[in-house]
Amino acid sequence: MTASQPHPLNVSLQALEVDETGELADPSQNAPSVRISPELLPTTHLMDDRYPQDNLFICDVQDAVLKDLCEMMEHPFYSLSKKPETKVRKYEHNGNWLRVTPSVHGLATIYDKDILIYCISQIMTKLNRGEKVSKRVSINTHDLLVFTNRGTSGRDYMAIADALERLGGTRISTNIRTGDTEKFTTFGLIDMGSIERKHGIDGRLMSMEIDLSDWIFDAIRESSVLTLHRDYFRLRKPLERRLYELARKHCGQKPQWRCSVALLHKKSGSKSPEKKFRFLVRDVAKNDHLPDYMVEFVEDRDQVLFINRNTMPMCVDHKESAGDGSSIVDRLSADINESARPLVPGWDIYHVRNVFASWWAQADRPQVKNPDALFLKFCRSFFAKNGRPI
């Protein structure tokens, strides 16, 4: 092979995903696995940024900050395997239990979750602008591929169709809280998904419509979301993505978070034996390329230490606004929205709650004896200043 010839692995490294054990495979799960020697992987271990922000001219995509649901970052909803996972998953921790039932197509994977992150990000952007939102999200498939740093070949479009099948077929039973409410419930990740295909030479998917489940949509409206680093979509291995999610949820803006290997293994949802999992985590710590957090393996205690790189803007999310990890909106009574809506006619009450939380955080989080009374006073001032939305 001459110096002018491209390396035969160049294409596969861009087009294929890597599972938690180091195997590469098409995200659609239809391609055969390929074992890649570690020394052949790029030294950064991050996929190329296909669409740098300066070259991204899709306004809605460019403006939308990556958001993910806190509950989905905390609990192992998604498969980390490239092979279809058809067994029922069961998980319990600190009084919260979770049962995930896949369809015949297999459990939704952490790569399939990219579609939901896109939807959540778009809805949160509209809420923050004071625009009306719906659980039905219309998606231009090319915009989705750009947003998630994927290619735009025919195979990439077909992988979206396969992901939609798995998302639609995965059912979850849980008692996990959304906002200030705890429910014993069962739901799908999405209620409906449809795809419009253009017939012709390439037959590519043009657009999609997705109806998010009520559980997911309610969590979005309650601002149960955290911001992700854009390099999340550049992480090659599912385990890397999962470790970042757990660090983002538990460490957040704090200096560090320490977790035993046994508990981390449980929270990750990894199907690898604990011994193999320990080796994989050591590898992540050695490579040190997770966004926002450094990873250290504490050998003598069999623990993993996540250290904040201090690369995140302070108080980027309302869930992180208070020193104890809760926001003032979490202290509002369950029926306060009914009293507040008449004070801000025409405005989405959840948008007003978000603005209220930001205002409180920027005021250095003062102690409040009666959050409900303060919120109602804020609503009056908010409407006096802004009037009805245009």
Q: Is pLDDT at 106 greater than 90 in this prediction?
A: yes
Q: In angstroms, rounded to a whole number, what is the distance separating the alpha carbons of residues 67 and 120? A: 6
Are 41 and 12 in contact, with CB atoms under 8 Å apart? no
Torsion of CA 255, 270, 192, 122, to 10 degrees: 20
Report residue 183 as tokens. Answer: 């429910």
pLDDT, mean over the chain = 79
* Crossing angle for the helix pair 274-287 and 261-268, to the nearest 10 degrees: 90
3-state secondary structure of 239: helix
Report residue 348 as tokens. Answer: 């989405």
Q: Which of 222, 178, 218, 217 is nearest to 350 (CA)?
A: 222
More confident residue, 175 or 56: 175
Q: Is pLDDT at 5 greater than 60 in this prediction?
A: no
What is the rounded end-to-end Cα distance, in angstroms, of the chain? Answer: 63
Beta-sheet pairing, 190-197 with 177-178: unpaired
Find all residues with CB under 8 Å of 196, minimum gap 6, and list them: 205, 206, 207, 208
Percentage of the chain beyond pLDDT 70 is 76
Q: What is the pLDDT of residues 156-191, one digit of tens each?
A: 888 998 999 999 999 999 876 655 677 788 889 999
